[in-house]
Amino acid sequence: MRGRLLKDIAQQMDMPSSRLFTIIGVPKATAEKKAAANDVIAGAGGQAALGMIRLLGMARSIVLQSTADAARDFDSAKWLGRWIETPQPALGGRKPAEFLDTPTGLEIVSKALGAIESGAYQ
């Protein structure tokens, strides 16, 4: 995952890049240095960033499959940015952002988001 892409994702999600760095477990100084040089963010932080891209794809898929008129102009990236910062009943009242720095946590959040897509989310 290239550092510059991570900053682009934060912008799409309408959140400060420093917050996204925190969510995925990459120190701000490291992420900023990697972004400036467009170097690869490897390791757990890189995996968490790839997981964020997966979540963005899931959110976009939910919108694309919707038949609602409002879905045409719906910004799924901004919605996801807000959703991951909102306590979710399906996650025991915790924010999805609290889980995204580990593969297991990412899977938990993916399942919660998948439940929204399938209509099973309450």
What count of Cα atoms within 13 Å lies in the side-chain half-sphere of residue 36?
6
Give percent of the chain with pLDDT exceeding 70.
96
pLDDT tops 90 at residue 119 = no
What count of Cα atoms within 13 Å lies in the side-chain half-sphere of residue 95?
11
Nearest CA among 101, 100, 95 for reference residue 82: 95
Per-residue confidence (pLDDT) for residue 1, from 0 to 100: 78
Range list of H helices, the chain? 3-12, 17-24, 28-37, 43-65, 76-83, 103-118
What average pLDDT does range 48-73 have in this prediction?
89
DSSP 66-99: ---GGGGG--HHHHHHHHTTS-BGGGTTB-GGGG
pLDDT tops 60 at residue 121 = no
Residue 4: partners with Cβ closer than 8 Å, 6 or more residues away: 35, 38
What are the residue boundaries of the structural domains of the chain, listed by start?
3-118
Q: Tens of pLDDT along 13-43?
A: 999 999 999 999 999 999 999 999 989 999 9
10, 16 Cβ separation under 8 angstroms: yes
What average pLDDT does range 57-78 have in this prediction?
88
Q: Band the pLDDT of 111: cuts 50, 70, 90.
A: very high
